[in-house]
Amino acid sequence: MPADIEHRAPALQGRAAGLVRMLDLVPHVEGGFFREIWRSKDVVAPADRRGKRAALTSIYFLLPRGAVSRWHRVRSDELWHHCEGDPLELWLMSPEQPSLSKLALGALAHDREPVRAVPAGWWQAATPLGEYTLVSCSVAPGFDFSDFELLAEQPASDALQRARDDASELL
């Protein structure tokens, strides 16, 4: 992880600061704070031949006001589960589609759901819609940093241009 992560982490206050301490969260390269909470001992071999992975991994992930989960993608399916705090706006971009979509993640209401899925290989970004949002994210086959890409670190591409045009604050 880059050495400048600490500089990108916003100052924490209130419940968000308490959760970072209580859950022993650390800054994440994509933004916010995290801690891995589960790594399955079962191992699977994904069909794309990227090598063996844990069958399932899960983290706590906290985004306080002022933080974003920067545009990134993972080579596995990912489920976002709202745990507490304000709703979160989850941005998605299919590798094949020219448009961005937004989903609300939070307590069940007419315009949001507590669980959202991001298919493997899709670009994703998120921002809290209030003081903080605490989620858990589960990845299957399990997360490995070699399966993770930040969009801002990629060569010029259509996906990067769409993100710059429509949601540059999430780069």
pLDDT at 5 over 60: no
**All domains in the chain, ordered by first residue:** 5-170 (2.60.120.10)
Mean pLDDT within 58-66: 97
Mean pLDDT within 91-115: 91
Nearest in space to 151 (alpha carbons), one of 137, 130, 138, 165: 165
Q: What is the pLDDT of residue 157?
A: 65
Dist. CA 86–CA 40, nearest whole Å: 29
Q: Are 152 and 65 in contact (CB under 8 A)?
A: no
Q: What is the pLDDT of residue 154?
A: 75
pTM: 0.86
Mean pLDDT within 68-90: 97
For residue 141, cis peptide bond before it (omega within 30 degrees of 0): yes
131-150: pLDDT as tens digits:
999 999 999 999 999 999 99
Phi-psi region of 50 (alpha: psi -120 to 50; beta: other; left: phi over 0): alpha
pLDDT at 86 over 80: yes
> Looking up tokens 């209130």, which residue turns up?
14
Our measurement of the distance from residue 12's CA atom to the centroid of its chain's CA atoms, rounded to an integer in Å, reads 19
Q: Are 134 and 62 in contact (CB under 8 A)?
A: yes
